[in-house]
Amino acid sequence: MAQKVTPGAGADKPPLAATLRRIEQRAGALATASVSRMDETLPWFRALPADQRSWVMLVAQAGVRSLVEWLRSGGAAASSPQEISDEVFAAAPRALARSITLTQTVQLIKVTIDVAESQVRVLAAAGEEEALTTAILKFSREIAFSAARVYARAAESRGAWDARLQALLVDALLRGDSPDVLASRAAALGWADAPPVAVVVGRSPGGDITAVLHTVYRAARRARIEVISGVHGDRLVVVMGGALDPLATAGHLAGSFGEGPIVVGPAVPSLDQATESARAALAGFRAAPAWPGAPVPVAADALLPERALAGDLEARRALRHDAYGAVLRAGGGLLETLDAFFSAGAVLESAARELYVHPNTVRYRLKRVAEVTGLSPLDGRDAFALRMALAIGRLDPAG
């Protein structure tokens, strides 16, 4: 006849019951021993402030309690890594994750597990030493994954916060806020104001903003420059620091942008003056569709004619002062020669006949125009800019 089993008689007894009682009795001593070992073996731990060391003690005590509960359940699926994370790491403030790196947390876990393993003979009841050692190793794996989960959540939260801070800074930059506002927000992001500074504007590739900014940072690390970036509507705005050749450096970041023009503002000495670069880059981005063959990326200054046509007053000023004004100041018949050259359809000999001079004289004067303006009348693109400059200068001679 089969023996009758009384319900509850030994069926609900947890595994390692005797060992559990011993661990519960020595929980405080085990946590204290773990922290003492950390102090002995980890130099960076000794340098922590007292409040952070106390947080680590809280986490160690919570870890021992969680180990007891995990053993009591037999490491069942009910004790998920998420639950372990909540039990152990909720004992300390979120600030601990910002003060101690993930690598350092792994070192703390390793020390705690080493201490627990060294006391297995004291903690385990007779015959349960091997089972306790195996259980501790499994539990340490769960704790390690839980720690990684905590740091991943903290990194996601920090990434989202950084994205908001950067968006605020870029917005302040585009609005032309005071240098103090820019400096304080840049300092919160750890910006190193490495000269020169230039602003790049292009189309955002779309999708999650944090992922877009992360792509920019990876490209910036490869290019070894500082960046602050933000997505404004369909535009991606990137502030580059330490880019000695902004146009070439923007080429390294081109893969972070969506399709369309990428415009690079002029280099300025510091972030305080980056508003000028941002305005030029934005104006160039708006005007870029008027030059379908523009290189990618393109300098904002190369788009002066299109910007002037789009109503950019700074572009009109630059063409009037730096091109038309430079030709006027140089004298020597340069303005008359330009008029004749353009009227003759850019045919040098025809311009010479109109001016009653030798073609070499026309050639010399055109070379002088290129020297004083940086724009060559013999280049189709530069000739377009010069003709725009002449028109603007004559419309507003007082300027």
DSSP string across 311-343: T-HHHHHHIIIIIIHHHHHH-TTHHHHHHHHHH
Distance between CA atoms of residues 107 and 129, nearest Å:
24
Q: Report the C-alpha gap between 60 and 74 in whole angstroms.
A: 21
Residue with tokens 């009841």: 125
Instruction: Please state, in angstroms and rounded to a whole number, the distance separating the CA atoms of residues 330 and 372.
Output: 7
DSSP 220-266: HHHHT-EEEEEEETTEEEEEEES-SSHHHHHHHHGGGS-SS--EEPP
Spell out the CATH class of 312-395: mainly alpha
CA distance 154 to 248: 35
Matching residue, tokens 């340069």:
334
Q: How many CB atoms lie within 10 A of CB 341?
A: 25
**Mean model confidence pLDDT for the chain:** 82
User: Residue 7: pLDDT above 80?
Assistant: no
What DSSP line would sit under 345-390, residue for residue? TT-HHHHHHHHTS-HHHHHHHHHHHHHHHS--TTSHHHHHHHHHHH
Q: Are 186 and 259 in contact (CB under 8 A)?
A: no
The predicted pLDDT at position 6 comes to 44
Q: Which is it for strands 235-241 and 226-232: parallel, antiparallel or unpaired?
A: antiparallel
CB-side neighbour CA atoms (13 Å) of 85: 16
Q: Where are the domains of the chain?
A: 17-157, 176-303, 312-395
Percent of the chain at pLDDT > 90 equals 41
Alpha-carbon span 223 to 193, nearest angstrom: 16
Comparing 83 with 252, the larger pLDDT belongs to 252
Residue of 168 and 373 predicted with greater confidence:
373
Cβ atoms of residues 382 and 327 within 8 Å: no
Which of 60-69, 77-86, 111-120, 369-378 holds the top average pLDDT?
369-378
pLDDT tens digit sequence for 37-59: 888 988 888 888 888 888 888 77
At 353, is the pLDDT very low, low, confident or very high (cuts 50, 70, 90)? very high
Q: Treating both helix axes as pointing N-terminal to C-terminal, what angle do 50-72 and 102-118 enclose, rounded to 10 degrees?
A: 60
How would you list the strands of the sheet with 263-264, edge to edge?
Answer: 226-232, 235-241, 197-203, 263-264, 298-299
Question: Would you say the CATH fold of 312-395 matches that of 176-303?
Answer: no
Query: Which strand (E) or helix (H) includes residue 299?
Result: strand 298-299
As a whole number of angstroms, the distance between CA 204 and CA 102 comes to: 32
At the topology level, CATH places domain 176-303 in Alpha-Beta Plaits (3.30.70)
Looking at residues 60-70, what average pLDDT do you find? Answer: 77
Question: Mean pLDDT across the stretch 6-11?
Answer: 44
Q: With the CA atoms of 183, 189, 194 and 197 taken in that order, what torsion angle do they form, in degrees rounded to the nearest 10? A: -70
3-class DSSP assignment, residue 23: helix
Label residue 92 by pLDDT band (50, 70, 90): low
* pLDDT tens per residue, range 234-255: 999 999 999 999 999 999 999 9
Alpha carbon separation from 99 to 44, 53, 56, 226, 398 (Å, rounded): 11, 11, 11, 24, 61
The structure tokens listed for 236 are: 């991606």
